[in-house]
Amino acid sequence: MIHQVEIRDLNFGYGEQLVLKGINLTVPKGSLVAIMGLSGCGKTTLLRLMGGQLLARQGSVRVAGQELNHMNEAQLYAMRRQVGVLFQFGALFTDLSVFDNVAFQMREHTRLPESMIRDLTLMKLNAVGLRGVQSLMPAELSGGMARRVAMARATALDPALILYDEPFTGLDPISLGAIGRLIRQLNDALGATSVLVTHDVQESMKIVDYIYFVSDGVIVAQGTPEEIHASALPFVHQFVWGEADGPLPFHYPGPTLKMDFGDERGQA
Amino acid sequence: MRGAWGHGLRTVGDTTLSIVGRIGAVVLFLGQILRHSGTSFRRFGLVIREVYFAGVQSLIIILVSGLFVGMVLGLQGFETLQSYGSSESVGVLVALSLMRELGPVVSALLFASRAGSAITAEIGLMKATEQLSAMEMMAVNPLARVVAPRFWGGVISLPLLAVLFAAMGILGGFLVTVVMLGVDSGAFWSQMQAAVDFHHDILNGVIKSLVFGVAVSAIATFEGYEAPPTAEGVSGATTRTVVSSSLAILALDLLLTAFMMKGWN
């Protein structure tokens, strides 16, 4: 099987603290893979390593068979032309209109005539259902619309790999379902490979082919949505069913309740 | 007592090292801007757009300030020169003050406050909202696409603004001394024409404002690019731009004036 992304024995950290420890992960070509875990578990860091924004401390990150750690700046930029990224809040360029945002990469990287750029841009906007907002500025869009425009921009050059960073955050149920379906449709229509970083279990289970669970910088479980749904692993069960009690603590480690409240109350 | 001295000395040392380190970082950043300036010259429209935002939109404050500064210079100069019986020379005083010093320095200080802080805030907010990261992931270098055009926009704008500031100042001086106080118009202009030297006064003033333009634009883009991606981080960066730019302008003015005066002798 050909892998679009292949990560082997990856270690990464900020300063002394290791954020990712011994990660092994593959994303087959044409598939849609989700990386899930609690906030702060290292999911977005993993996504940034796939895009070459961060470099592995140890181990290997290969995208389309190329080792990112050995690339110079020019090679990295050449690789990124094959990658589309949807940032958590869209990251649309606020000084450009919706149309200019989507056309940005075409103008930067191709010598296409403006008439063709116009047609391609409108096609991309049509694919996300927003051809009618082409002249608006990003500040005039709702959160869901901005996310869809960002998706049109991320797929502007028909990338081979699309990385989605928390695409469902802060969306209403209708936009959430629409964005989920769009991610699946775009992946299949473009023949691309997609990696989705999210903690929205129910929505992503409907659209992805495979799921990796990350906790405390380690992959603790993996499988197809059906396998994950049926899993008896305490971690997976707690995460999928959103239970407060389980191996994942709700409270950040700190002094005991008695130390913070009990003694003082007793003294009072 | 020795502990207090030691602590004070350590604080002075730390602050000095931090300032020197910061200057070094700005100079290295300037080198990176120059390395990535090719795009700015190939697609000069990007620079023209920044000249509009940094230069044209600063015109009102520059022109109005220039007019008032020239008027005050005229008033002060007339008052002083009149007591020596040479009030006709007030035109020379106004023109030389504006072209050599006040034009380049005051317009650079105003430029740092209006355009410099705006450049820092814009780049800092682009960083905080991941627009620069998005650009990087689209295989577009933000240094070439965002930073360099803003830098060159500032470098081109400031000398033009300084010349306009000086011109408005001279007009302000003329209005106060000739129109209001009755100084002879012919004497005002002819003495100015005889005393002002193109190379020593006008060209040196333009050179000063060019150097100030490089300094302010480099500091403004550096502070924006290196700003912590938070509201507090961006607000701190804009403040640092204004403070650092103002100090850099005054320090560079001293150095340049010393070199230029040496050239006159």
Domain extents for chain B? 2-264
Tokens coding B176: 């106060």
Q: Which residue of A has its CA nearest to B144?
A: A108
Q: What is the 3-state secondary structure (H, E, C) of B101-144?
A: HHHHHHHHHHHHHHHHHHHHHHHHHHHHCCHHHHHHHCCCCHHH
Is residue A175 scored above 80 in pLDDT? no
Please indicate if any CB of chain A lies within 8 Å of the CB of B140.
Answer: yes
For residue B265, what pLDDT is reported?
59
Beta-carbon contacts of residue B259 (< 8 Å; ≥ 6 apart)? none
Please indicate if any CB of chain B lies within 8 Å of the CB of A88.
Answer: yes
For residue A268, what pLDDT is reported?
43
> How much is the average pLDDT of A38-66?
88
Residue A13 falls inside a structural domain? yes
Q: What are the chain A neighbours of B125 within 8 Å (beta carbons)?
A: 94
For residue A186, what pLDDT is reported?
87
Work out the end-to-end distance of chain B between its first and last CA atoms, rounded to an integer number of angstroms.
50
Cβ distance A87 to B136 less than 8 Å, yes or no, reads no
pLDDT tens track for A191-245: 899 999 988 888 888 899 999 988 888 888 899 999 888 888 887 878 777 777 7
CA distance A143 to A77: 29
Please indicate if any CB of chain B lies within 8 Å of the CB of A109.
Answer: yes
Q: What are the chain B neighbours of A91 within 8 Å (beta carbons)?
A: 129-131, 133-134
CATH number of residue A46's parent domain: 3.40.50.300
pLDDT tens track for A183-193: 998 899 888 99
Angle at B227 between CA B124 and CA A15, to 5 degrees: 135
Cβ distance B129 to A88 less than 8 Å, yes or no, reads no
Computed from CA positions of residues B238, B240, B244, B247, in that sequence, does the dihedral angle turn out positive or negative?
positive
For residue A251, what pLDDT is reported?
73
CA distance A235 to A174: 29
CB-closest option in A77, A87, A104 to B133: A87
Closest CA to A32 of A126, A167, A124: A167
Cβ distance B130 to A94 less than 8 Å, yes or no, reads no
Tokens coding B2: 């020795």
Q: Which residue of A has its CA nearest to B145?
A: A108
Distance from CA of A246 to the nearest CA of B (A): 34
> Strand A32-36 and strand A210-215: pairing?
parallel
Q: Which residue of A has its CA nearest to B137?
A: A80
Could you give the percent of chain A with pLDDT greater than 70?
A: 96
Q: How far is CA B243 from CA A148, B116, B162, B189, in A?
A: 41, 11, 20, 38
Distance from CA of B264 to the nearest CA of A (A): 48
Q: What is the residue whose two structure tokens read 């202009």?
A: B189
Distance from CA of B157 to the nearest CA of A (A): 21
The answer to whether A226 touches A220, Cβ cutoff 8 Å, is no
Q: Where are the alpha helices (DSSP H) in B185-230?
A: 185-195, 204-225
Cβ distance B134 to A81 less than 8 Å, yes or no, reads no
The count of domains in chain A is 1
Cβ distance A80 to B134 less than 8 Å, yes or no, reads no
Cβ distance A104 to B138 less than 8 Å, yes or no, reads yes
Range with the largest mean pLDDT of A62-66, A131-135, B161-165: B161-165
Residue A259 falls inside a structural domain? no
The rounded mean pLDDT for chain A is 87
Tokens coding A105: 């990469």
CA B259 to chain centre: 19
Across the A/B interface, how many CB contacts are shorter than 8 Å?
46
Cβ distance B130 to A87 less than 8 Å, yes or no, reads yes
When scoring A71, A82, A86, A104 by the number of chain B Cβ atoms within 10 A, the one with the most, hence best to mutate, is A104
When scoring A86, A101, A108, A157 by the number of chain B Cβ atoms within 10 A, the one with the most, hence best to mutate, is A108
CB-closest option in A81, A88, A92 to B139: A81
Cβ distance B137 to A85 less than 8 Å, yes or no, reads yes
Computed from CA positions of residues B243, B244, B247, B248, in that sequence, does the dihedral angle turn out positive or negative?
negative
Q: How long is chain B?
A: 265
CA distance A116 to A112: 6
Residue A246 falls inside a structural domain? no
For residue B161, what pLDDT is reported?
97
Residue A22 falls inside a structural domain? yes
Cβ distance B134 to A91 less than 8 Å, yes or no, reads yes
Cβ distance B139 to A53 less than 8 Å, yes or no, reads no
Residue A240 falls inside a structural domain? no
Closest CA to B158 of B95, B109, B120: B109
Distance from CA of B126 to the nearest CA of A (A): 8
Cβ distance A108 to B140 less than 8 Å, yes or no, reads yes
Q: Is the ipTM of this complex over 0.85?
A: no
CB-closest option in A53, A78, A80 to B138: A80
Residue A112 is part of which domain span?
3-231
Tokens coding B242: 């204004």
Predicted TM-score of the model (pTM): 0.86
Q: What is the mean pLDDT of each run of 10 residues along chain B (265 residues)?
A: 82 92 94 91 91 94 96 94 88 94 96 96 95 92 94 96 96 95 92 90 94 97 95 95 96 93 67
Annotate B164-178 with b (16+ C-beta within 10 A) or e (fewer).
Answer: bbbbbbbbbbbebbb
Work out the end-to-end distance of chain A between its first and last CA atoms, rounded to an integer number of angstroms.
68
Cβ distance A83 to B137 less than 8 Å, yes or no, reads yes
CA distance A5 to A61: 7
